[in-house]
Structure 1
Amino acid sequence: MIQWFTKSFEELTNNELYAIMQVRFNVFIIEQNCLAEDLDDYDQEALHLFGVDESGKVVAYTRIFGPGKKYEEAAFGRVLTTKEVRGQGAGKELMKRTLAVIEDHYGKVAVKISAQSYLLKFYSELGFEQVSEEYDDHGLPHIDMVRPA
């Protein structure tokens, strides 16, 4: 069972921040072989939604931005689930909670994301629409998508 938390950067403990950075490194840099600058000075402005398993390990994560922070719309990114929970509905639960956090904090607003192209169907099922052509983002094909308010 996953236990969920939403915290501002200032509310994160040192151990939580370390665990989040570790899982982001493991998924994006090691698994996906994506050599991108993960520490981009946006974490301080984000809400951090993360799920931990029974042992306390971070197994799901995303960072959330209000309107005007990354885009005109609200946004989220750095979306991940670990191998241990993939295929068990953790990704859908993470997205359900992400959209609920956005609505709770910012109201019923439009949400824009930069999604890996292979996730088009996944995000489409959540109400997102493709709004850009495919582009390369650090060696991985991406598309911009928007979920209307």
Structure 2
Amino acid sequence: MRLRVDVFVVEQRCAYPELDGRDLEPTCVHVWAEVDGAPVATLRVLRDADGRGRIGRVATAEEFRGAGVAARLMGRALELLEGSEVVLDAQAHLQHWYARFGFVARGEIFQEDGIPHVTMVRAL
């Protein structure tokens, strides 16, 4: 969670309720990568009330971006959600990155904490 705060709250200057309660849901799975015992990338896997899988809070330490760490975490998240439609709310400038994993933008770009986002869906 410290990495998430470092990326979203400090680096991106978004004062928002990062701890939204969903981390404690019984079906929540946290996936992360470490280097020398310190997290360098993380994401969480959830189930929404409608049964769809949800990937969120994808964060990578700045010095590890572009190294493929987050891509490996996304692969693991999609394995965990195999057989389900998966949804996520992507920062709009990362649409092309999520498209690599089969996600397609649905709907209009919206503002979340001052950052443009778009909902993306990966069909079954």
**Same fold per superposition (TM over 0.5):** yes
Which residue matches 1:129?
104
CA distance in 1, matches of 2:20, 2:10: 18
Which residue matches 1:26?
6
Query: Quick check: 1:50 aligned with 2:25?
Result: no
Which residue matches 1:101?
80
List per-residue Cα deviations over 1:50-73 (Å, max 9, x = no partner): 1111x10001101111242xx541
Which residue matches 2:88?
113
CA distance in 2, matches of 1:61, 1:118: 19
Q: For structure 1, which runs of at least 5 residues remain unmatched after alignment?
A: 1-20
Secondary structure at the counterpart of residue 63 of structure 1: strand
Identify the match of residue 115 of structure 2 among 140, 145, 148: 140
Secondary structure at the counterpart of residue 112 of structure 1: strand
Query: TM-score, normalized by length of structure 2?
Result: 0.93
Q: For structure 2, which runs of at least 5 residues remain unmatched after alignment?
A: none
Tell me the number of residue pairs that the alignment of Structure 1 and Structure 2 aligns: 122
Aligned partners of 2:42 and 2:70 also within 8 Å: no
Identify the match of residue 77 of structure 1 among 56, 63, 67: 56
Superposed displacement of residue 124, structure 1: 1.1
List per-residue Cα deviations over 1:75-118 (Å, max 9, x = no partner): 01000111121111112111111111222xxxx11001111000
Tell me which structure has the larger Cα radius of gyration.
1
